[in-house]
DNA sequence: CGCCTGGTTGATTTCATTCAAAAACGGTGG
DNA sequence: CCACCGTTTTTGAATGAAATCAACCAGGCG
């Protein structure tokens, strides 16, 4: 599973779309261009002409908005399967910026061609609408988080969410979560400061709930406590 | 423009969809059922089977999530043209609840029929995807607001947004904003408490920026000041 | 008239931010 | 291999903004 450029014939399991039948995958692959972005580099910029849209194949992308005063809100960390740069309506520019958190492989689809596929291929359409509905649901969950939750609730929720995302493959929950993003990224994602994130994580460590591992991973020692801290959230994003 | 039940032959200007050609409107109308909900009553409940989805024709709907501990986050106030109860994916239940803020007229579409129209009628599909993209963009803007902004920034932004929405029809900005929602609704929307909303509004009044009018309207006396308070936000939602 | 809901105002507390500085980390080049 | 640098993380103390707790006021309605 190399990180370098792949062939355009990639099938359903390359993560370019969550659920995708053969035809849809082929048609998408046919109009797509594969590109890679090194960790930390920009993927797209708010305000740039939206000539194409992307899906994440490998790696993690952060999507964010900048305020003129320099503050930044990361609106999401996108994993393989997510779409990026979707701007239908009259808009012809991207509504947000995106950076590569890790080294990233993307598929780029020319906007016109993609829209044509939406019309022609039911499988593409369904997958795309489902992906958007997912993102919308997730956005609403995160509004709840940002509006009404304490720092430890936010961080506990974040860790459990990441753990859940990584568990996806196998099924059983993982006890070690790989966290490639920096503290300030997490802070901007959760609406906190880097200091508060650090402090809160320190508290978790002191309580024996988590354990900092080598290389940006942290081990979950007491999932129950973490879930209790995450608080009364019906569903973990 | 009566608020009571309308005929199913309603055309393109009834607000059931933003931009819609004749065929799409007709096909949608054909599968839809019109219903009205009095102010303050529930429209749908989180967790209920998602057998149909809705579009708002007239009035305002609040969409919200409840936490087990009673806290509530209003994720949006929906105006005519917005969709409600969209749950593709495997999910068969609604992801959120909704109440009628004012008396509301809705169109209900059986989920299966609507999905079929998405496949068959390009106009419906485009309008629907555009509406979702809009909602997503709006959700991201509101994340920014909830995460990083002070109470007065939030409230100023809220007022300007409402003013902008009501200006839509004519074009020139309005100076009187109709605010049918209660203080606690605004608070739950902005991630504040009702007390803070009241206090902040009192400050605005004291400064001569706004003026409380009769019947739940407030007059904007100094739009410039309000925009300055709303702060460095590139685009008002 | 009195009740009930919703809005206002005040006093206090709490929690995250801010400002500041030290410590750890990771890469680079001698 | 180690010293050096810039960056990121950690920790501390002080500040500040909104939440909380609580009381009071105004209007609508039985």
* Per-position pLDDT tens, chain B of length 237: 333 333 333 333 333 445 566 788 889 899 999 999 999 999 999 999 999 999 999 999 999 998 877 889 999 999 988 889 887 666 689 989 999 999 999 999 999 999 899 888 888 888 888 888 888 888 888 888 898 889 999 999 999 999 988 776 666 667 888 899 999 999 999 999 999 999 999 999 999 999 988 777 899 999 999 999 987 654 444
- The CATH 1.10.10.10 domain(s) of chain B lie at 149-230
Beta carbon pairs, A and B, within 8 Å? 118
Closest nucleotide to B154 by C1' from CA: D18
Q: Is residue A17 within 8 Å of A28, Cβ to Cβ?
A: yes
Mutate to test the interface with A, among B17, B87, B144 (most CBs of A within 10 A): B144
A25, two tokens? 């995958």
Question: Angle of helix A151-167 relative to helix A122-148, nearest 10 degrees?
Answer: 150
The chain B residue lying nearest A150, using CA atoms, is B147
Q: What is the CA radius of gyration of chain B?
A: 18
B218: Cβ contacts below 8 Å, ≥ 6 apart: B159, B176, B177, B179, B201, B210, B211, B212
Of A142-146, A162-166, A178-182, B228-232, the one with minimum mean pLDDT is B228-232
pTM summary value: 0.84
| A86/B147 Cβ within 8 A | no
List of chain A residues whose C-beta atoms are within 8 Å of the C-beta of residue B148: 67, 71, 73, 191
The chain B residue lying nearest A139, using CA atoms, is B139
What CA–CA distance (Å, rounded) separates A97 from A67? 12
Distance in angstroms: CA B228, C1' D2 = 55
How many distinct helices (H) and strands (E) make up chain B? 7, 11
Q: Is residue B231 within 8 Å of B170, Cβ to Cβ?
A: no
Written as one string, the DSSP assignment of A59-105 is: S-EEEEEE-TTS-EEEEEEE-TT-EE----SS--B-SSEEEESS-EE
DSSP A20: -
| A146/B147 Cβ within 8 A | yes
How many distinct helices (H) and strands (E) make up chain A? 7, 11
The chain A residue lying nearest B86, using CA atoms, is A133
Of A8-12, A231-235, B67-71, B229-233, the one with minimum mean pLDDT is A8-12
Task: Give A148 or B199, the one with higher predicted confidence.
Answer: B199
The strand pair at A72-78 and A61-66 is best described as antiparallel
Q: Is residue B133 within 8 Å of A132, Cβ to Cβ?
A: yes
The conformational region for residue B184 under phi > 0 = left, psi -120 to 50 = alpha, else beta, is alpha
What CA–CA distance (Å, rounded) separates B71 from A156? 18
- The CATH 2.60.120.10 domain(s) of chain A lie at 5-143
B237, two tokens? 């939602």
Class of domain A149-230: mainly alpha
Among 2.120.10.30, 2.60.120.10, 3.40.630.30, 1.10.150.110, name the CATH number for the domain at B5-143.
2.60.120.10
What CA–CA distance (Å, rounded) separates B106 from A236? 31
- A78 in contact with B at a CB cutoff of 8 Å? no
């Amino acid at each position: 599973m190399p990180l370098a450029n792949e062939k355009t014939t990639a099938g359903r399991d390359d993560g370019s779309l969550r659920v995708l039948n053969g035809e849809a995958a082929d048609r998408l692959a046919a109009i797509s261009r594969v590109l890679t972005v090194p960790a930390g580099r920009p993927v797209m910029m708010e305000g740039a002409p939206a000539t194409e849209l992307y899906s994440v194949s490998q790696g993690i992308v952060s999507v964010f908005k900048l305020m003129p005063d320099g503050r930044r809100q990361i609106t999401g960390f996108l994993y393989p399967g997510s779409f990026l740069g979707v701007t239908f309506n009259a808009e012809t520019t991207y509504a947000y910026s995106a950076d590569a958190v890790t080294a990233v492989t993307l598929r780029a689809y020319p906007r016109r061609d993609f829209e044509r596929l939406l019309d022609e291929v039911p499988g593409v359409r369904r997958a795309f609408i489902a992906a958007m509905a997912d993102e919308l649901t997730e956005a609403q969950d995160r509004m709840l988080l940002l509006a009404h939750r304490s720092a430890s609730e936010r961080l506990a929720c974040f860790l459990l969410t990441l753990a859940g995302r990584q568990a996806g493959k196998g099924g059983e929950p993982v006890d070690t979560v790989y966290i490639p993003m920096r503290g300030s990224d997490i802070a901007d994602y959760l609406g906190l400061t880097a200091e508060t994130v650090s402090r809160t994580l320190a508290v978790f460590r002191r309580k024996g709930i988590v354990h900092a591992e080598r290389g940006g991973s942290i081990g979950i020692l007491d999932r129950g406590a973490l879930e209790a801290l995450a608080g009364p959230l019906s569903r973990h994003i």
